[in-house]
Structure 1
């Protein structure tokens, strides 16, 4: 989806170019200067809209990656839970070894 700032900025930029060209053709300095000013404002607004689109796109990508990571983590957790239910003695041995290792670390502090 294109941001409205891009659309209005492009329209202002085009209008400014036309006004500046008409001012140049008619010899009207005020129209020429005003047209160039509108063109610059439109260009700036268009760039602002492009930046907003880029941020929106990046946020969507990050959201997709986070959702994918969450789903993958949930699958790993489910698999680990299922395996620990299959081998409860192994799970107890692993938990005991981790607890023993943590106890050693804490006692040395």
Structure 2
């Protein structure tokens, strides 16, 4: 089973893409920036979960 950090990170990344897309459509620069930040955070969390899985030997 995948580490919960990988699952949460992937979800945060997708949510960030959605936020960024809505920001692009509405011209909301703040929402667009939040979406990009969520994507970065999600990717980092996903990578951390992958590292934990590797260390567990999965």
TM-score range, shorter chain: over 0.9
How many equivalent pairs are there? 58
TM-score by length of 1: 0.52
Higher relative contact order (CA 8 A, sep 6+): 2
Q: Which runs of 5+ in 1 are unaligned?
A: 59-109
Q: Select the structure of larger CA radius of gyration.
A: 1
Where structure 2 has 5 or more consecutive residues not aligned to the other structure, the ranges are none
- TM-score when scaled to structure 2? 0.96
Higher helix share: 1
Q: Distance in 1 between matches of 2:48 and 2:23?
A: 27
TM-align CA RMSD: 1.0
Runs of 4 or more off by more than 6 Å in structure 1? none
